[in-house]
Amino acid sequence: MFNIIEYNEANFKLLEGDYEQLSQFLKGPNEEIVQWIDIDISHKICVESLGAYYKLHHLTVDDILNPGQLPKIEAFDDYFFLTLKMMHIVDEDEIVYENVSFVAGKGFVITFQEKPGDVFEDVRSRIINYKGYLRKKKADYLFIRLVEAIADNYGITLEHIRQHIEGIESNLLNGKRHKVKVSNEILYIKKDLNLIRGYIVPAREVLGKVKTETGHFLNKSTIAYLHDIQDHVGFQVSLFETLREMMKDLMDLYNAQTSNELNHIMKTLTIISALFIPLTFVAGWYGMNFEHMPEIDWPYSYPILIGLMIIMTLGMIIYMKTKKWF
């Protein structure tokens, strides 16, 4: 299913249908109506049809169909192309990453996504319910708000990771987490942070080029919003560095606790071994089976020997307790 929202200050129209019907709803550049087309790139024929309709460069179409594309910005005579990485949280824990491409020009914005589900619900709601300035502005403002939604979710995702790190740290201090599970969670967080860094840093650089590359498409008032987005992404980059320090501290805490537990186990085993050393000596001494050992013929030799072993063990335990070895 495709999704098209057409709007101006007076009204809006929401259009949905099968991809075979998409061509019926396409409109050329129109200053009076903003058209937002949202599709996913799994329908390659549809992407190529849109490319032909809006006369997109074949390299632009190739970039749209390549989900591994790094963030980039390119401007042409009638449109400009921007690709970013979008991330959002599903099921309260899983972070979903996908590539989002924008093609924008006079009167239209097209978003190409890898899969259903995105971070644009607030933008859709504002258009439908006439909130804010979206219905009063042109397509360039819609483009900025969509980019802002992606940038905002960078921050939401990083905050989610920060809370996750703090939760693991708290559970480690309280001894509530299994060590193997904690180790796996730390590895997953490190993987997510490395992915996010690879997305946010290039995004900051690309957003810095939007003004120079697409100046003739963006109004001056819209460019001011772009500066705010750049500042926001810059702050998120610094937040990422803070999270890396938190991860380092978490790893140090985890390793310290693991080392302490290992030392405690070794200490316990050492004490047990120390208690059995004299007992083993006595048992070995009287287990040599020599023919002439006078103690063996005594009628009370067995209970005396057992009592001696008990006294030796108790004496060593009392000595260790006095030295506070355990």
Measured between alpha carbons, how far is residue 257 from residues 84, 165, 176, 177, 250 in Å?
40, 16, 13, 12, 11
**Domain 262-322, classified CATH 3.40.50, yes or no:** no
Burial class (CB in 10 A: 0-12, 13-18, 19+), 301: middle
Residue 185: the pLDDT is: 84
Residue 144: the pLDDT is: 92
Measured between alpha carbons, how far is residue 304 from residues 207, 248, 317 in Å?
88, 59, 20
Three-state DSSP class for residue 119: coil
Residue 288: the pLDDT is: 79
E strand or H helix at 59: helix 58-65
Answer whether 31's CB lies under 8 Å from 107's CB.
Answer: yes
Residue 317: the pLDDT is: 87
The tokens describing 245, both together, are 């320090």
Residue 242: the pLDDT is: 86
Q: How far apart are CA 109 and CA 127, in angstroms?
A: 14
Q: How far apart are CA 93 and CA 189, in angstroms?
A: 11
Residue 215: the pLDDT is: 66
Mean pLDDT (the chain, rounded): 85
* 296, amino acid identity: I
Torsion angle defined by CA atoms of residues 38, 40, 44 and 47, in that order, rounded to the nearest 10 degrees: 20
* 126, amino acid identity: R
SS percent in the chain: helix, strand, coil, step 5: 60, 15, 25
CA nearest 309: which of 288, 284, 326?
A: 284
Looking at 3.40.50.2300, 3.40.50.300, 3.30.460.20, 2.60.40.10, the CATH number of the domain 2-257 comes to 3.30.460.20
Helix H, strand E, coil C: the string for 192-254 is HHHHHHHHHHHHHHHHHHHHHHCCCCCCHHHHHHHHHHHHHHHHHHHHHHHHHHHHHHHHHHH
Encode the chain (326 residues) as per-residue pLDDT tens digits.
Answer: 678 898 888 888 888 877 666 777 776 666 678 889 998 888 888 888 888 888 899 999 999 998 888 889 998 888 899 999 999 888 777 888 999 999 998 889 999 998 878 899 999 999 988 888 888 888 889 999 999 999 999 988 998 888 888 888 888 887 765 665 777 888 888 888 888 888 888 888 888 888 777 767 888 878 888 888 888 888 888 888 888 888 888 888 888 888 888 888 888 888 888 888 888 888 888 777 777 777 777 888 888 888 888 998 888 888 888 877 77
Residue 282: the pLDDT is: 84
Q: How far apart are CA 198 and CA 240, in angstroms?
A: 11
Answer whether 135's CB lies under 8 Å from 7's CB.
Answer: yes
Answer whether 182's CB lies under 8 Å from 172's CB.
Answer: yes
Burial class (CB in 10 A: 0-12, 13-18, 19+), 199: buried
Answer whether 34's CB lies under 8 Å from 139's CB.
Answer: yes
- Write the pLDDT tens digit of every residue in 204-257: 888 888 877 776 788 887 888 888 888 888 888 888 888 888 888 888 888 888
Delimit the domains of the chain by residue range.
Answer: 2-257, 262-322
Residue 178: the pLDDT is: 63
Residue 176: the pLDDT is: 64
* Cβ count within 10 A of residue 80: 23
Residue 120: the pLDDT is: 92
Share of residues in the chain with pLDDT > 90 (%): 14
Model pTM score: 0.79
